[in-house]
Structure 1
């Protein structure tokens, strides 16, 4: 805009004070946006820090009540549970056992922290002895259709334990439709599905595999997770899962796929979650511990970028710190 030879519109006018900046702020980040991942392990009094993820712990079920209390105090109202089983086998039997670690955790949280919204990860990689996300064929490949039965049994078991929402992360074709049918058949029509719809075969998952003790014993997961080069395919994956009955779709990881996140949200205007994954968290923590970045500023900037790109919810290991910083900023 020009007025004569002088700029008619000066954007700096509305950047001059904090109040002015807040008045025109397009994206607001809130602790209500966050879902906090929690790793549950066997035993009692167990609180083991994940070496590659400073500040993130594996917790035994008896310590969950205190963890939930802290999260709720900070305004974080939803958790995503991952389980480390007592034992692993070829068929991942503890994943769908009503006495499995996640099932015990769900019941404990529902009893001790009824205000917490409990989401459970539905996959096989943490429970199988080979570390892959489903049943193997004789050739050592994951059998897509046979795996669906295991995933359905796991989702129903989680719902029976009291999970508010189930989140299949396996990337098997057709699993959302299969889980929806199984949940409905068992009377769990009220339990929504958060689908890991657009999940890439990423190098950013390394620290998570330490935390969940779920690294594959051979090969990798590129035969079922997505090629990082493909964006249109990610949109198609979200479309398929929505058609199959997903209530929420996901883009994972977040930072390297903000373009895909924006496309998914723009295309479908559907509830969408970004997963701020372990490698993203670990990089920020390492840089902050070396004094190379301002951790608070960088974390809030990164989380804001995810929401700006289209995320309605953000799964993040930064949730507790970010919630604390946002509250402090609000009181300032």
Structure 2
């Protein structure tokens, strides 16, 4: 099998020696080409070329969720075609590795490589659904390029935390869970409009003379999930939308209040969340298996996709695409 291994040399949990061992193991079973990424977006470009070549059967992403997201966007540059595109495999090398762990892969890169080789020998794969976010027609974000995501997107508070973490990483800080907690506190203390919801969620179904049917108004944040867990706190899985799945469309966790008391309560609920129950209460709404919907804000808000901060947006249109890509598991 001809395969491309895309390696992020800055992956936080895999050193050069470990990468050499993994490459040797994969090359023993595959006709392997290894390329190390050199710039932001390089993994996307490499995966796109592999998909368009027609000769590569498998693309392996060695890195964190950001590397995986770039590879997925490269593979799906021309749209989903599961039977025609190379399959995706993941060897986790980031600090959290949500996508890989949601697929049931070990979080250790060496163990995950062993599991990948076993899956290839057994022909074990699944076709998963993904999320697609694009600019909303008629808004300032209309021309924003579409972006696929594997596990989540966020509009508002959580995206602001992601942005703060990225700023700290640019300054040389390591991506740790303690760093996320500190930036979450700073984001909350610095958010002037945290008590006033600006987001509206609407679906296109039932469009009438007055436009789309409004589902939710006056939201302070919205987290869109393509699977569950939403993230991990150390080894603890966190379930924002417990029913989210790679086999369905998209789920949404929406909050209409973000006071000090509400933040403490919902943070505690997230840490205690289970596959059966996530955050709940008067100011919490969860929506399950949405295929198409739009989030729109009265003011520009932070926006993130798979943990990648994309700046400020006033709107985003989401599509849940079932059976978008084949993955080795």
TM-score norm. by structure 1 comes to 0.27
Higher share in helix: 1
Q: Which has the larger radius of gyration?
A: 1
Which structure dedicates a bigger proportion of its chain to strand? 2
Which structure would you say has the larger RCO, counting Cα contacts within 8 Å and 6 or more residues apart? 2
After TM superposition, the score normalised by the length of structure 2 is 0.27
